[in-house]
Amino acid sequence: MRREDLFACIEQDFDHEILPTLSEYIAIPNKSPAFDPEWEKAGHMQRAAELIAAWCRRRKIEGLKVDLIKEPGRTPLLLMDVPARGLERGEAEPTVLIYGHLDKQPEMVGWSEGLAPFKPVLRGDKLFGRGGADDGYAAFAALSALSALEQFGAARPRAVVVIEGSEESGSSDLLYYVDALSDRIGTPQLVICLDSGCGDYERLWCTTSLRGIVAGDLRVEILSEGVHSGDAGGIVPSTFRIARQLLTRIEDEATGVVRVEGANVSIPEERVAQAALVGEVLGHGLYSKFPFVPGAQPSTSDLAELVLRRTWRPALEVTGASGLPALEHAGSVARPQTTLRLSLRIPPTADASAVCKSLKATLEAEPPYNARVSFDGETASGWNAPATKPWLAEALDQASRRFFGPGVAHNGEGGSIPFMSMLGQRFPDAQFVVTGVLGPQSNAHGPNEFLHIPTAKKVTASVASVLADMAIAAKI
């Protein structure tokens, strides 16, 4: 099985089989339940799941089983099982779990002319539309990798492919299905997740960590109703000013340093060293990918520190507000309340529940002017990858060199993927490969999301290569 032949097989699969069906998938507005309360009645999620399931069932893979599972009130889940091949009798049958999801983020405004969230558009080597890269391609890539191994008669481990429908809503149904299907899934020795990012499109990227999150609403009330601002100004404290004071308790506004107990951790030396390498590899690309206004600049010029600030240091953002009228409706009124939606990204190893309790206590203690202050938050834990075994480290680096050129790169992600913590706890002895196609300007969750097709092909080939090497490792 030469790498040229393997890649040609996958490339042909993408061009003739995957991209047409993936385009059909993009056209389905199957928003995750958190963004569409009527998702089940609308039927879009089921339609997307059936589309993918039908494509998968047409794959010519010996022993492939494809089940579309739908429990009442829960999002659908695709479970695919492919038996091991090429292993001698008496050898332990290794199992790999390959993960992806099929639900989507909402539309978002700001799409460029000619583009739209549920309108697949192919421009050059990019396929635009919501969900193509995040994470609709995953099921197709997993089966394409397995199909390629089948075509060349290569040995492979047993593969279980799980495609869920609630990831963008915090994977609310995933743990239920994993527990309910535990006998069918078994105990994987390797988990491959195809829902992460890549620092560039020049090499294979493996995610080493994910930040956790504490998100909630800070509400400040001072009046039971709005009053004339001229009459009340100077007597009634501004709820916005009170909110500003409270934010200073939890963040240094000059530096962005978070002051919440438990939100800062000791960063492992290995991750510090990896951050320095990522800074060297990506250079100014670390921040030039963001649409800064002319003259604006990142929080520091230290590239390694930028990587750590994105992956291992806590960061606070105000992502929404209520109690503030739109400008055209802003009268001369002292407003009775201000509510701010806070999003606190926390390090991978921080205790999210403890941080949330500390944040709530800090914000609500001794409120200025005895105003009514409350904070209600939700949490999702972060994740830090276990140490990589030598065979897997070598397999990943070889795959990157075979299909990209440069060796593999390792980096943390600033976002939160709750299911990774779930899977890490559910399979504590497994190895993890977390990778993906969300590179510069691919803009998952935002306007103009696109799948970079050459990277998707190379990532798929890399997965096939790692699976072949896993079968070889099982013989050693």
Neighbouring CB atoms inside 10 A of 1's CB total: 16
Helix axes 137-151, 3-13, angle to 10 degrees: 130
Residue 248: phi, psi to the nearest 5? Answer: -65, -25
Residue 416 is predicted with a pLDDT of 84
Residue 91 is predicted with a pLDDT of 56
35 secondary structure, DSSP code: G
Cβ neighbors of 335 (< 8 A, separation 6 or more) are: 223, 226, 238, 239, 240, 323, 324, 325
Residue 363 is predicted with a pLDDT of 98
What value does the CA radius of gyration of the chain take, rounded to a whole number of Å?
A: 24
Residue 419 is predicted with a pLDDT of 85
The whole-angstrom distance between residue 368's C-alpha and the CA centroid of its chain comes to 38
Please name every residue paired with 333 in a beta bridge, in sequence order, or none if there are none: 228
Residue 110 is predicted with a pLDDT of 95
Contact 240, 442 (CB under 8 A): no
Instruction: Compute the distance between CA of residue 144 and CA of residue 457 in angstroms, rounded to an integer.
Output: 9
The residue assigned the tokens 């438990």 is 262
The three-class DSSP label of residue 67 is strand
Residue 92 is predicted with a pLDDT of 65
Residue stretches of the chain with pLDDT short of 50: none
Residue 87 is predicted with a pLDDT of 82
For the stretch 128-165, pLDDT in tens is 999 999 999 999 999 999 999 999 999 999 999 999 99
Residue 147's Cβ-side half-sphere holds a number of Cα atoms within 13 Å equal to 23
Q: Cis omega (within 30 of 0) on the bond before 135?
A: yes
Helix axes 269-282, 303-311, angle to 10 degrees: 120
- Kindly list the structural domains of the chain, giving each domain's residue range(s) and its CATH number in brackets, ordered by start: 3-210+383-475 (3.40.630.10), 212-264+314-380 (3.30.70.360)
